[in-house]
Amino acid sequence: MILKIDEKNPQVAARLCAAFNFVKKFPPAQKEKALHEIKRIVNHEKLSKNSRELLQSALV
């Protein structure tokens, strides 16, 4: 979903990426799945700079 939105409106996608900052508070099973998806999205070559930065901060 983030990747599709990012193609058309990178600013909105970046705002949605901010929601991933709460991943650290997820239970272990959900946290593992969420981190896997974040890594997949971050590795997408056409992801906008802003979205990439926000998602990378969620991985730290």
Q: How much is the pLDDT for 2?
A: 93
Q: How much is the pLDDT for 39?
A: 96
Give me the long-range contacts of 45-50 (CB less than 8 A, separation at least 24).
46/3, 46/6, 46/7, 47/3, 47/6, 48/6, 48/10, 48/13, 48/14, 50/10, 50/11, 50/13, 50/14, 50/17
Q: Hey, where are the domains in the chain?
A: 2-59
Neighbours of 29 (CB within 10 A): 8
Q: What is the pLDDT of residues 3-55, one digit of tens each?
A: 999 999 999 999 999 999 899 899 999 999 999 999 999 999 999 999 999 99
Q: Which amino acid belongs to residue 54? A: L
Q: How much is the pLDDT for 60?
A: 81
Report the alpha-carbon distance of residue 56 to residue 53 in Å, rounded. 5
